[in-house]
Structure 1
Amino acid sequence: MRQANEETVIDINYNDLSLEQLKEINKKSAAAIADFENRQKKEAIQKATEIAKAAGFASLEDMLAAQPAKQKAEPKYRHPENSELTWSGRGRKPGWIAEALESGKSLDDFAI
């Protein structure tokens, strides 16, 4: 088996190899993949850190902490008997809305 640089493709007839050889290839490939992914992550973090500093942040962590929190959608619908049960109209319908719609009511019946 010959070694290859990043541009060379190795053509191996895997059917000619023993189980031990195949396991060794598998082990070395998994290690090489993990090493490659770690290098990519480090490079990405380094680039993101440089961008954060160029934008005036002391660190990448400071930039990430400065992100505005997701705003919770205001409720548009309220349960008629339990005012604590509300729904914004986004996402999956709560059970009480689904049941009411099946029984013939409309969303307008629950509008706030």
Structure 2
Amino acid sequence: MNFDLDNMSLKELRDLHKAVGRQIDGFEARKREQAMMAAQKAAEEHGYSLKDLLGSGKAPKAAKATVAPKYVNPDDSSETWTGRGRQPRWVKGHLDAGGSVDDLLIK
């Protein structure tokens, strides 16, 4: 199949470009499907389904560990702080008043 690209119009070149792109995408999809079929057949020969071997395909998410509070607001015991991240306003207020962080430790 020979194309005289030098004598093609811009529209013809763009149409050819789109057609080639579609063919490439279709080729890759066909190859992927063939690979999936071969993998499924190999799994079945060993007594498994492909889904059994691959699972859901997603890695399990690590559970976030919760950190116990380390400090408590002496004026309102419902306000606590783990000591991580930004200091709450009540901690800053206590420090500005001349207090120590050790004063706020949960006993």
TM-score by structure 2 length?
0.49
Question: Which is greater in Rg?
Answer: 2
TM-score by structure 1 length?
0.47
